[in-house]
Structure formats: structure tokens, C-alpha cells
Amino acid sequence: MFVIFGTGGFGRELVRPAQEMLSVTGGELVFASDAPEGPVLGIPVISADEISDEDTVVIAVGSSATRKSIASRLKGKPGFLRARTALIGPGVDIAPGAVFCDYTMVTASAKIGAHFQCNIYSYVAHDSIVGDFVTFAPMVCCNGNVHIGDGAYVGTGAVLRQGTSEKPLVIGENAVIGMGAVVTKDVAPGTTVVGNPAKLFERA
């Protein structure tokens, strides 16, 4: 079986790309959930305990920390889901569990970590390195020579300035880039930046 873990909005968005893929490769599509109710969109929903070692799983949960926790306990093999309209260029290394939604792109010579989520209309440009459990919301522009640490979240419409091979732009582990932010400088691990140009967000 090909399993989409999570029946929320993102999980439901993955149904059509998964069905298109399975029409070529074969296999049954199911949802999985810790609190299964269903079916959802006419697709059966199974419990996490029903996933076997032979099943292939993608995790449709936006939170990087939650996705990592789920991955640590699930049976099954981390899958790879690439929408028909997603483009993957030459020299790209992609770890298991990655999801590329419609109209996404990785241009060339980039490294993509495990369980990466690349939402609609987002791209990763040349020579970038994306860590494990990174989330791109829709329309993220990640330009060339950007290094993104594990667990980072990049909000809708954010723009990451191009770095260089000698000095890449660095987004630290578990950093959060706010919606529409324009990131021109390195972002420290665990911090949140917002605005244009992006600055540290401090709660009142």
C-alpha cells in the first residue's frame, strides 16, 4: 500500500498526485491516522498500527517536529511523492520521505533532506542544501546556494536571497521564516524572522 499519514488539508491535497503516480506504478492508496475515521474522499483510513513494514508512507503533517515524531514510530518505508507537474533537475540528491506538490521545482545540483515538504509553486535553486523535516509553504523562493537546517519552516511567499559557494545564505535549524519575508542575511537556529527585509520577531 501507499500510505498518506494524515487526513487534514495537506493530506487531502496529496490524493490526486498520489493517484496519478499509482496509475503508473500500481498499488493501493490509503490514508492513515492515529484516530481513524473514514473513508475520506472515498479512500479508506487505517490506523497507524495497521501499517506494515512493506508499505510505503509519506507524512502529510506540516509541523516539522510532529512529522519527525511520527516518522520515528511508524512502520513502513519512507516514500517519495512527486506530482506530475513537479520538475527535478540534474544532479539532485533527494532523501526518502520527500513530497513535491504541483508546480514545484528543484533546479540542479541540490541536496534535499528526509521528509522535506515542498508545497505548491515553491522551488529550490542550484547548489542549495535542505535539511531533514524542512517545510516549505506555498510559493517559497529558495534561490541558489542556500543552506537550510533541519526542522526549519519557511512561510508562504517567502524569498531567500541567493548565496555564493564561498558564503551560502544559512537558515539555522528549527528557524521560522514568516509569510512574505525577504531573507537577506543568515537566520540563527530556533529564531523567527518576519518582514522585508526580514528581521528578528520579538513577541510583545
Annotated active-site residue 147? The verdict is no
Helix runs in the chain, H state only = 9-13, 15-25, 64-73
Spatial distance between the Cα atoms of 152 and 46, rounded to a whole number of angstroms:
29
Spatial distance between the Cα atoms of 49 and 26, rounded to a whole number of angstroms:
23
Length of the chain: 204
Tell me whether strands 199-200 and 192-194 are parallel, antiparallel or unpaired.
antiparallel
Spatial distance between the Cα atoms of 101 and 119, rounded to a whole number of angstroms:
5
Question: Which contiguous run of DSSP H or E holds residue 88?
Answer: strand 87-88
From 12, 68, 77, 126, active-site residue: 126
CB 22 within 8 Å of CB 29: yes
Instruction: Identify any residues that bridge with 47 across adjacent strands, giving them in sequence order.
Output: 33
The residues assigned a catalytic role are 126
